[in-house]
Chains A and B, each alone.
Chain A
Amino acid sequence: MSTTKRPMSPYMLGPYYKFQITSVLSILNRLTGVFLSVVTAPLLLCWLIALASGEEAFAALSVWLGSILGKLVIAASVFCFSFHMFGGIRHLIWDAGWMLEISQVRSSGWLAIAGSVLLTVVVIGAGL
């Protein structure tokens, strides 16, 4: 029997494990975390560097941030932040030993989805 061909994480989801709110939110919490680390945090760093570098660099970054792509990246960043924050709050609650019944895990999951959509709309609306 070959041991090298065994399916490994994350390829278990889908063909081997049924998608459900618990596993989908878990993987999305990781994906949004990766997005925040690889896109959002470096973008904030770029903003700070541009501001510290002077007017010309800041103006160039502002033009990019105002473009369609820039606006998309900002919107995605706000959503990923909101989602990861509510997902993180769920984890902290579980770590305290609370809300661990499967029905509570499901309802807190839907609450986190609703909360992250709402917070995204509020933040983007306030920034417009």
Chain B
Amino acid sequence: MSMQNPLARVRGQGSSGGGSHHWRSQRYSALVLLLLTTWILWLGVSLAGADYATASAAMSSPVNAGMAILLAGAVFYHAQLGLQVVIEDYVHIAALEFVLLIFVRFACLVAFLISAIAALKLVLGT
């Protein structure tokens, strides 16, 4: 078995077989966030200082619930990709870097799941 990658594969994509995947994912999620964050700005401004009844009425709308779940997915995906790059660039202790990378992935996944469950609970009722 050769330890070297065939030149054809390196020319195409690099040793990982998908060198631009992370970079492209970050850009695509950024484009999605450009659209979705206008919704959260609007919601945040319209619900600033709102009481429980007003806020829960707003989040019982299927449109707002759907937007909240989409936004949470895009936000925590983009956050995971961004934090990953920051950790890879600035954490120079290999073991700590590994632990942080796993933690960030796990935390972002859990955060998305909780957001989705909370939004569903608000729209479907208890």
Contacts and interface: CB of A to CB of B under 8 A. Distances in A.
A9 B48 contact: no
A37 B37 contact: no
**Interface secondary structure of B, over-half rule:** helix
Interface residues of B, number: 36
Given A48-B118, A127-B45, A55 B34 contact: no
Contacts, number: 78
A1 interface: no
A52 B76 contact: no
A85 B34 contact: yes
Interface of A: 8-10, 30, 33-34, 36-37, 41-42, 44-45, 48-49, 51-52, 55, 58-59, 62, 66, 81, 85, 88-89, 91-92, 95, 123, 126-128
Interface of B: 27, 30-31, 33-34, 37, 40-41, 44-45, 48-49, 51-52, 55-56, 59, 68, 72, 75-76, 79, 82-83, 86, 89-90, 92, 111, 114-115, 117-119, 121-122
